[in-house]
Structure 1
């Protein structure tokens, strides 16, 4: 009786690749160096994995597809520095060029970085994990042969006290509203946070580009720093126009008003500043009107005073005449 292998071609191709890889394996020849230049261990780099698998994918007619199912970022602030950890859930699909059959696996990738390379590193780790698992790529030494020093209870306690976590979920890409942008801007100004550094951290151009997870993560970080006061609403565009017109008519420069509220433009003024500013302008205009009218009142006062003095002199002259005294 003859048996027929009806397995999809993609499984046959992957099995053939695994057979070839098992003959050579992939050595750990990439040294991991710490800041002092000391070699900590050796690993298999992503470039070595590419060099090993790329020709085999072509030889066996396999096309690789990738789909990032979920992404999370976490800011880890220690006593001396801050790192950004990226967590990915990635689905890899191996497709056969012969019959279109597919085989998919889901893996996780995690990486730490001081800048914006966390996603790229996490993808590299996810791909290496997928390939190591599906092809069972052998190594030249036992990865568990290195014995690491144990951490003391004191060091562990200190690390927990000096660490702060804030999770940023980036699978929700909805942007924040204008009110949320103003609220966040007010809190950042209150905290003295460098907004440019924050924008660079999240790789956006302005606060209005923040997604809801970015907004929530920043609020959480500010709250942990003790910045929880609600930002006062800003004046409306109509109120800004009224102020601009008032300053223009009076020939005034608003820089003192801006300095008083520590803002750079009228648009950033708090809502409460509008009424008080308009009251001050109105009071100033009334005082100016009184001053402009003051010469007229002085002249009238002088005329009344002169008339009073003339009348008094006439009365005195009449008395002098009656008493026979002449001046």
Structure 2
């Protein structure tokens, strides 16, 4: 999937169907000239239904088509025949999609399971036919109910990527390279900031045919919590990751300070993010010798205050197996 096809925020306009009219009809046959009322009910209007689909990763379907309308219910007929229901409209969305009210920004629905169906707009009820209104004092009612009108509303669909592990780091920290090595994903990789403009997902194959999902999130910059740079475009995706993997290059001027800046951006965006499991991976460690690593460990033990860390190199395949083991244990303890 190209970055242009990854869409995680859309506004759609939805309309459910009107209910059909109830029928006003009096039973007539060759030898029955004054039969009673037998007008049937109208059919209900079509619903607009949200449906989770595990095979989708983007909301690109709704980038170009934003209006969806269910059909109306058919009117009732003689012989108490009920009109057909309107045709429902199904909107397939990726898992992790939330539905918001555009005016209040309130989250109304959340889709997290494959095949899960949520009626986002109900169709109008069909009107009752005149046979319902027969009584001892009114044997031939000549009226029926009109169908109820459907609903019309616009919604915001917002996708928060569902992944077990989210990669967090500054631009050009090596996140895309790590994802390409540890999974079968093929993200764009280049030596300049903001190579990754949209989240990339990859499946990490583990032992005994087990696996977990890792997401490469666009790089953080200072001020991201206020929307600077890519801002909220990446931060909302981190919310759904159960474990956060902080990636900091070994040639960073101050690894501890860099980690604190990243942590502070998450804290300012949503303090609950700090409750997630954390692991720090120091990338590009093939540039270090054993003596330098030993010196760095002394400093890191003081600066990171007990947060686990490890040295890796995606290019040299250094520590990659150990990283998989550590992440698996964190996800399954």
Comparing both chains, which one has the higher relative contact order based on Cα–Cα distances under 8 Å and sequence gaps of 6 or more?
2
TM-score bin, normalised by smaller chain? under 0.3
Normalised by the length of structure 1, the TM-score is: 0.23
Normalised by the length of structure 2, the TM-score is: 0.22
